[in-house]
Amino acid sequence: MKPINETHVAEPGLAVVEVAASDDETAFAVQELLAARYAIAPADRTTREPGEPGVRLRCFLDLRPEPDS
């Protein structure tokens, strides 16, 4: 995976979540749980690191309160 960019965590309320799981299905299930509660920029694929078990998935969360409409 690419390094986390400074803009991804530039202010309070922004977070990067990396999921390590045994398979794609599990990693995407965790992402769905996060998406049900928070605003996220979801990942569309997982990655595999040579020599490491399982898969990795990275998504970006925005926990900042929404401005009043």
Task: Using a cut of 0.85, tell me whether the model's pTM lies above it.
Answer: no
Q: Would you call 36 helix, strand, or coil by DSSP?
A: helix
Query: pLDDT tier at 69 (50, 70, 90 boundaries)?
Result: very low
Q: Residues with Cβ < 8 Å from 17, sequence gap 6 or more?
A: 34, 58, 59, 60, 61
User: What is the reported pLDDT for 50?
Assistant: 92
Task: Provide the 8-state DSSP code for 16.
Answer: E
For the stretch 17-54, pLDDT in tens is 999 999 999 999 999 999 999 999 999 999 998 999 99
The answer to whether the CB of 5 falls within 8 A of the CB of 58 is no
Average pLDDT over residues 2-24: 83
